[in-house]
Structure 1
Amino acid sequence: MATRSKYRECPKNQAVGIGGHAVDGCREFLPSGLDGSIDALKCAACTCHRNFHRRENDDDSAAAPRLFFHHHHHVALLAASPPQLPQHPSPPEEGR
Structure 2
Amino acid sequence: MFKAIFGGSPQSKILDFLGDHPDYDYSISDIAEYAEVSRPTLYKVIPDLMKKQLIVETREVGKSRMYKLNTKNEIVKLILKFDFELASKIAEMGEKDRIIFA
Larger Rg: 1
- Fold in common (TM above 0.5): no
TM-score when normalising by structure 1: 0.28
What TM-score results when the alignment is normalised by the length of structure 2? Answer: 0.27
More strand by proportion, 1 or 2? 2
Structure having the larger proportion of residues in helix: 2
